[in-house]
Homo-oligomer: A and B are copies of this chain.
Amino acid sequence: MARDERGVTAQSEDFAAWYNEVVFKAGLVDRGPAKGTMVIRPYGYRLWELLQSELDRRIKDTGHENAYFPLLIPESYLGREAEHVEGFSPELAVVTHVGGKVLEEPLVVRPTSETIIGEMMAKWISSHRDLPLLLNQWANVVRWELRPRMFLRTTEFLWQEGHTAHVDEASARRETMLALDIYHEVARELAAIPVVPGEKTPGERFAGAVATYTIEGMMRDGRALQSGTSHYMGIKFASAFDIRFTSETGREELCHTTSWGMSTRMIGGIVMTHGDDKGLVFPPRLAPHQVVIVPITRGGNVAVEGAADELAHRLRSVGVRTHVDARPHLTPGFKYNEWEMRGVPVRLELGPRDLEDGTVMMVKRLGDDGKQAVPIDSLPEAMPGVLDDFQAFLLARATAFRDGHARTVDNWTDFADAVSTGWALALHCGIAACEEEIKSLTAATPRCVPLGGEPETGVCVRCGAASAYGKRVIFGRAY
């Protein structure tokens, strides 16, 4: 395959190969020894930590408390909610032995924690005064993957899972939408992914949910990535786990519950939303290094090295995550290529000449600005704005890409054409067999019924039956 000088396959040639090369080459991830597992390397983990701290703050600011529930769940728990066990059974990893002895009851490694948290909620909740109970946990989960892809589908991944219990449907549904709003904001404002929030069609719902909401991002190959989901469970899990409360009027009632999760999958979403043929492009708000300074010292130049360190210090003092690449055995050119491939938003090149002039060469990872000589002393004040502009640029670029690859279609030919390169917004009958037929013909599935969609009715784009949902559905091939 053709590769550019940095050895990455072009996106246009083979997007999947590009993705696989770039996540490994950029040092985000490595393969674990057990099938489908991944090692999140420091550069990838730092991105996750930055996303995590922003998401965690929003979760706490809206009244949720973090807790931690056991990894190992008695196998019988899963079976208490019929749809739930049916959905997860094929993916369960099961512990049958401990210390060389067979367990009486096997334990599953949590694929998600509705069951064990439901069991504990039943114990903790007795009065309406205990509600709402707003919990969140940061945890690893295991779902066996036959066709793993780093960050997108791995046997183990990291996530947060919110679990809440409420006195009634209205309160639980408000919570479901609140979580979706948080995900929307995090994806859009931090990851610069212009996701579309919407509701899943029945066939795409979480196993055991009454309603599932999602944020869907468009990747640069036109496919959709489900980037966070929020579920209203009704009283299904409350019935299965006996989560009851005594109401203000003294009646015993079942709680309405929700759950919602965002995972390390977001890292893959960031890679596929912003990356290009040179490699990664990180949005500044989540970039481990927002700025990399490359001192051009050709065999050691104390003044240049000192100036680079001082500039880094000044940038850090205004909150800019700055890295000085002082590795003596590598050329500046090698470093430029490497940090471009690793997606650093802004590179500063500082040589002896620049230092004499009191300037530094600034190069942004994307955009038409080219190299610019910038006064060193202006940078501490200017850099936060440069990064904000770059963040806004990425969001605008991704939005333009998304809008350029999403078409409103009213006939099958246009539909098939649209989903071959992006999304189709179409009316659909909502019938499962018709969804299946569309999938088998085009590989496209209903991604969501967008919350912002205008009311519209008519006939199904495929079968001509009366449309469902009262508005258009987004169809696309999905990760």
Minimum CB–CB distance for A237 against chain B, Å:
16
Nearest opposing residue in chain B for A77, CB measure:
B33
Q: Does A68 lie within 8 Å of B39, measured CB to CB? A: yes
Q: Does B94 lie within 8 Å of A97, measured CB to CB? A: yes
Q: Does B70 lie within 8 Å of A33, measured CB to CB? A: yes
Which residues from chain B contact A77 at a C-beta distance below 8 Å? 33
User: A70's contact among B38, B98, B106, B139, by CB below 8 Å, is which?
Assistant: B38
CB-contacts of A328-382 with B (<8 A): 329
| Best-surrounded residue of A33, A69, A97 (most CB of chain B within 10 A) | A33
A72, B144: Cα distance in complex, Å: 11
Q: Does A33 lie within 8 Å of B66, measured CB to CB? A: no
A367, B89: Cα distance in complex, Å: 56
Which residues from chain B contact A33 at a C-beta distance below 8 Å? 70, 73-74, 77, 116, 119
Q: Is the interface of A mostly helix, strand, loop or mixed?
A: mixed
A123, B116: Cα distance in complex, Å: 38
Q: Is A149 an interface residue (CB 8 A)?
A: no
Which of A42-50, A195-203, A416-424 touches B?
Answer: A42-50
Query: Quick one: given A123-B30, A129-B329, are A70 and B37 in contact (CB under 8 Å)?
Result: yes
Contact with B along A11-46 (1 / 0, CB 8 A): 000000000000000000010111001111110011
16 additional A-B pairs beyond A45-B68, A92-B98, A95-B109, beta carbons within 8 Å, are: A32-B69, A33-B74, A34-B73, A37-B72, A39-B67, A40-B67, A40-B68, A41-B67, A42-B135, A71-B142, A72-B142, A91-B99, A93-B98, A94-B97, A95-B95, A96-B97
